[in-house]
Every structure is written in C-alpha cells, then in structure tokens.
Amino acid sequence: MSEVVMPRLSDSMEEGTILSWLKQVGDEVAVGDELVEIETDKANMAYEADEAGTLTEILAQEGETLPIGTPIARIGEADGDSGEGQAAEPAGPVDAGDPPPPARQEGVPPTTPPAGDSSGSDAEGPGSPADDEGGERVKASPLARRLAKDKGLDLATVEGSGPGGRIVKHDVEEAEAPSSAPPTPSTQPEGVGGAPSSGGTAKGQVQIQAPNKLQQTISRRMAESKATAPHFYLTIEIDMGKAVDARAAIKAASKEDDVVPSFNDMVVKACAIALREFPKANGAYRDGHFELYSRVNVGVAVAASEALVVPTVFDADQKGLRQIATETRAVAAKVREGSVTPPELSGGTFTVSNLGMYGIDAFDAVINMGQAAILAVGAIREVPAVRDGEVVPAQLMKATLSCDHRILYGAEGAEFLARVRQLLEEPVSLAL
C-alpha cells in the first residue's frame, strides 16, 4: 500500500485544489496514467501516477484544497488484496502531524473553487452525464466542464477538437444546449446580496464570487510586487514605420500556411536582444542581492477567460521571428483552452504586456515577482510627425518600461529602452 500525496506541480505552489478524479476506487492504475486533475497557483493540470496498482481509497474529495504533501489517495497491489475493506468515502482525520483538511461547516460555502464551477462541485460527481459515457470518463478541460454545466449540456454529446479529442471551451460554446436545460445556478451565496434592508442600499443586490486559485495568486503577487518593489516608469515613442513595411513584406512572401510574425513578436525579439546586452534588465532583486540570469526567457501576457496568464518564450534571444510567433500562438491557445502547464508558465526573466489591440495608447504595468522589469506596449497610431522640418505621416507606438529601482536604475533602464527602440526602428536587425 502506498500513499499518493498532493504533489508540487510548480515552483511556487504551496497548496492545490482537487478538481476531479480521473480514476475511481477499484480502477487499475498504470505508471503514467492520469490520476487526478489539480488546480495549482498557475494552471489546472492532470497529475500522472508514478506507481502501478489498484486505487483503493480516495482521501481528498473534489473541491478540497490541501497543502503539498497531504495524502490524497492510496494505491494498493494490483491484485487488490492490500485494499480489502477500504471504502470509497472520504477518510477520517489524517495522521498526527499532517495538515488537516479544510473544515466543512453546514451553511458555509467552500472557499474554492467559485460557486457554479462544476469541476469542484459535489453536485456533479464522477458518474454524472457530463463526466462519463458508458463508464468511460469524457476528456474535457475544467473550463469546458464549467461552461457545459452552466448550459445544461451533456459533454458525452460534444465532439472535442483539443489534443487527443479533449473537449475545450470552443467546443462547448459551439454546441447547442438542450431546450430543457435547467437554469444556471446562482453564484450568490444564500443570505448574501438579497433584497435591500429596510434602510435600502445604493448599490442594489450584491453578488459574491470567490476567486479561483489562479486569481488568488495573481492578487497576492501583484500586491506583493507593488508593495515591495519600488516601481518607476520610463515611456518612449517608437517609429514603427519600417516595422510595418517589414511585416507587410514578410506576409506577402509567406505561403498560405506560414505563420506571419505579429508586431508583438517583433517587440519580444527586440527585447530579447536588448536583454542579452543589459544583464540587470534580465535579472531580479531577491533577498538583498542581484540575480542575473543566463537564459533570456520572455513572458508574454495573455488574457484568459478569468485571469491574466503569462506563458514563456524560452531562449527568445536565440530564436527567429517565425519561431517566436509559432510558439507564442501555440501557448496562447493553450492558455485560452485551459490546457497550459505550469512549466510553460515558469522561468520568465522579463515580461511583455501588449494592450495595443484594444486601442490603448500607453499604460503602466506591474512588475512580475522575480523580475526586474516589464514592458507595456500600446497601439500603433498613424499620426503627423515632423521630419526634417516637414510634417509627414508616421506610424508611432508608445512603450512604457516599469523598473524595479532596487536593481534597474534610471540610466540603465533608459539605455535598455533606447536599444529596444533602435531595434524596432531598424527591424532588419531582428532577423540577424
């Protein structure tokens, strides 16, 4: 008999939430089989068994949040003898010294995940139509399961377009829900935000939503970064005229199925080259000393359905524009499908955040913990500019560098930003 404990699935993970069990008590488990889906501080991912045998007992139920190292299941010998007498119900208190599971009080909603989330709700167990088809579990992302529950949609009737036939958000959105679908359950806990009191309220009814693990982590880290890192900001205006022409030429010369680099891909590449030349911009201030990183890994902020996620382009300084574009699109798709893995979200040494596609001209971004700076990129605008005493049309873009003054000082930050501008204004250097 061996215990399966809450694994550490990311470098910053301290606890995890059981989203759904992919094996049930009595199932045979092989090494590498997906055993349980866990929500970490960075992503939702399936944990693969590292031992073979029979799943004899499930100790942590769906929706429970437990610290790393807490037992969540037991696996016995393949013949099942060691699991004789074990029940499929939740186990009693864990051994002395182990962190206890979170208390469940009648009338108190669970702290995770948000209400209405089918991936952590006791209302939809492993045998429900959305999870099983003839006894075989339907592969679907947690977001797809939640959307399907909200629509009253049976996942067994949906065809998945994700890896290995996995059902993703797009598949559920495209599927038609049955006309008799039950109404979406309210995310408002009983007794909260109901009718105004006799005194009335100017805000009307209040809807309470509990943030998921990722949103909690983002909130905590952004608050820590803003509180501990002395931010200062440098804004520069970049003439993107040649970059616009270069991208048009690349697009014209590309085949139908070729990936055409975006302007953001050009920014990522320009930053990667400049980071190699300015080591402090590719470092961090930690515990009273400077950390300078040998690899240039640029994080690219991607807006997911419920949070802002930053997947990483590793060794961006060593990759061409097309490769950066291909990798960025692939990992951004994973973020939106909910299938991105913690390793793909780790290891960033610098971040690029672009809101230009929303028409934002300029903004100040909050530095990610463990980095020295982040570049906020605005929209490319065609505006009049003075060139050699004449007013001419120009394609201008503003970029703002947020710096941690403990490691990256004003002059160094300005030099780094000027180098990024130089590379973008002469984009032929990006291909070298």
Q: What is the DSSP string of 217-260?
A: HHHHHHHHHHHHS-EEEEEEEEE-HHHHHHHHHHHHHS-TTSPP
- Dihedrals phi, psi of 274, to nearest 5 degrees: -65, -35
Say whether 170 is catalytic.
no
The amino acid that residue 286 corresponds to is R
Check residue 292 and report its DSSP letter.
Answer: E
CA distance 131 to 152: 13
Closest CA to 7 of 53, 61, 46: 46
Half-sphere exposure of 94 (CA within 13 A, CB side): 20
Contact of 182 with 152, CB cutoff 8 Å: yes
Pairing outcome for strands 350-354 and 298-300? parallel
How many Cβ atoms sit within 10 Å of the Cβ of residue 132?
16
Pairing outcome for strands 34-39 and 132-133? unpaired
CA distance 70 to 99: 7
Helix (H/G/I), strand (E/B), else coil: 404: strand
The set of catalytic residues is 405
